Each structure stands twice: as C-alpha cells, then as structure tokens.
Amino acid sequence: MKSNTLLMAAAMVAFATPVFSAEALASRELINGKDLTGWTGKGYVVEDGAIYCTPQGSNLVTEGIFSNYVLDFEFVLTAGANNGLGIHYPGTGDAAYVGMELQVLDSTAEKYKNLKDYQFHGSLYTLAPAKQGALKPVGEWNHERVTINGPLVKVEVNDKVVLEANLDELNVAHPKHMGSKRRSGHIAFCGHGDRVGFRNMRISELPPTPVATAGETPLFDGKSLAGWKPERAGDESWSVMNGVLKHKGTAKGAGQLWTEKEYGDFTMAFDWRWASVGPMMKRPVIGADGNETAEKLDVQELDSGVYVRGNEKSQVNLWNWPVGSGEVYGYRTNKSLPAEIRTGVTPKMKADKALGEWNHTVITMKGDRLTVVLNGQTVIDQAQLPNVPAKGKLALQHHGSSIDFANLTIKE
C-alpha cells in the first residue's frame, strides 16, 4: 500500500526579494473545477467543481513542474479510501519512489490499524511519519497546505502541523530512495481506485533563497516589471508572482524582455528554472572545439537565454542541449571565427541542475571578455567576443519554453 500561518522569512529575505506575509502570497489555480485542463492521466472525473478518483484512477499529473511552493487544497475521503499527493514526481514510474508521496488516507479505517507509521495520512511514504488526529470525519472536506522550500517540507491539515521534514536529512537516512534526492518535479494524485475528491487547489510559487554579494543592485524588484520593457506591445506572456519573474512559454505574440537601461562592464547574477517539460528532440553532442559531432541525443527541447549588450549574437544560452547552458551560440556556430574563439564560448562542462530545479548563474562582461559561472562551476572563462558592442541593454529571451527567473541583480 502506497499510497494558517506560514513563515516565509527563509525564502523571502534579501534586498532583491520582497517580503510576503502568508495572506499576501499570490497564487494560481491548479484545479479549475470544470475539466482536467493542466493535468494528464486517466481515471479521474470532475464533479461539482472537484476532481474525483474513479475505480480506474491511478496517477493524474500536472503538466507544469514545480520546485519551491505553497500548495493549498481541499480533499474528501470515503471510508477506507487511499490516495496520495505526489511531489517532485518526474512524470513516469512509481511516484512514491522516483518522486515522493504524501499519503492521502482514511487513517481511521479499521483495516489500516496495523499500518507502519509512515503510511498514515500526511506522511511521506517510507520516509517520515506524520502526526495523526487532524482529519475531519469521513465525508467532510479537509484543508491541507503543503509548503516546500528547498529541502524543507511542511504539511498542515486543518490548520494543524502534522509533518516537518528535511529532505537532505532523509536522503542521508534513505540513500536508496531516489525521490528524496529530487528538488523539483510534477505534482500528482496517486490513486488506487478509491473515491477521493480534490478541489480548490491553488499554488503559490516561490523563489529560492538569494545569494547576496556586496555591491549588487536589484535588476528586478520582485513585484513588477519596473525597469523592464517587453519587446512587443501587448505581450502578456511575462508576469510576476511572489518574487518570481515568469514566462508562460507561449509563442504567440511573445518576445524578449529588455532592460530599460544599458550596461557596459558588469556582473549579472540570477536564478532560473524550467517551469514545464518540452518536446523530445534529437540534439547534437558538441565537442570541446565547438563543433557539432555526428552523435545526437534525445533531450527535452527547452531554450532561453540572456542577450548581452543589446546583441542577439552575444546571447548566453540557457537550454537543455547536451553541451549545457552558458554557451554563446552566435559565436560558437560562426565558422569564420578563429578556433580559439569558438572553443572559448563552448562550455567546459554541463553544470545544469535537473530539470525544474533552480540554477544560479553569474555572467561577467569586461571589455570583450565573457565569463559564465553556473551553479558554482566556471563554464565559460574569459572568452573573447570579437566586435561585441561596448554597451547595450540586457534581455531575457523568449524561445517558447516556460521559464522562471528570480533574484536578478547587477554590479557595474
């Protein structure tokens, strides 16, 4: 068998990120009460504004992928019912092991009296037990809040804290459990054919804790697009939620987001993550010399980047190609340039984190020299960008993929 107070100080403190109270957190719905838009899977139906598991129900999975968030929802149990809330689920496999499963269970049922402590409602299956006694009687709607902030997981049922766990610690205690290693993924309902209902599910997405460095000033205030201008009039694909700058991934009517100010020499730091999956495509393995080899790998096509000094050619790529993020496509693919130039703009390693997890990137431009540090690894080191403009605006590129940015700062 597998399956309202909120302290945000740890995630929301720093000059570049506004501080939010629980009541001020912006959220968006994951269940629209009408159909299964935003979810994939079979064996679930919508009735009276809620999603119900049917006898054929197994996993129902969000299309989006999530990392740091507060998830609020209501659920109702039938006698002896068993379901689960999958978190950090990669989308395939057993959610309780390749991801993690928070139990949704009628803990009062006689048939469950001899379960292990980690199998009762609110527990992280096989990993951590939850306190019991918070459930309302079977047939009544319960409220649950799940807060995930990096490795920290907190579960509240009907305003009672039933679970607080640290995934880093659980990973040490359960080294063979793959899901405890993950820090991002889909949200899923993990059905076992029992009738369980879910409604009023809303998510408040949160940025990672900022990495502060002396002399930085914010490029993004965490509340609005002040200081930025969409490339195309009427572009509503860029939005802000709780300190996260989001691009929803639509191609229609979308474009780059440009700074209003121009920059010459600078160090720009920011966090970013992929917010949804991409189509599977074959992409080339790129050699250390910048040349594409005959070998191709199947990858999810995810693509964005940062335009440096107002120039599309000097774009620092954020993407899911085998070579990794940080490369400068416009220079690497220009075979008229000397070999040392093309080698210099080719990443020394792939330092990207798993899809959906937050990455931290630092871009430094000094003269015509570029350095890119990704998750603490120098992937581009003093690469020369011949004829790069001396000054220009910065841009966050739209290339059809859903992507989040946070904690954007600059030091001139």
| Mean predicted confidence (pLDDT) in 102-116 | 97
Over the stretch 142-165, which tens digit does the pLDDT of each residue have?
A: 999 999 999 999 999 999 999 999
Over the stretch 201-218, which tens digit does the pLDDT of each residue have?
A: 999 999 999 987 778 999
The rounded distance, in Å, linking the Cα atoms of 303 and 323 is: 13
8 Å CB contact between 403 and 247: yes
Over the stretch 215-232, which tens digit does the pLDDT of each residue have?
A: 899 999 999 999 999 998
Q: Which of 18-32, 53-67, 375-389 shows the lowest mean pLDDT across its residues?
A: 18-32
- pLDDT computed for residue 175 by the predictor: 96
140 burial (CB, 10 Å; 0-12 / 13-18 / 19+) is exposed
- pLDDT computed for residue 4 by the predictor: 37
The answer to whether residue 12 scores a pLDDT higher than 60 is no
Tell me what percent of the residues of the chain surpass a pLDDT of 90: 88
Rg (CA), the chain: 23
List of domains in the chain: 9-205 (2.60.120.560), 217-411 (2.60.120.560)
Sign (positive or negative) of CA dihedral 268, 269, 275, 281: positive
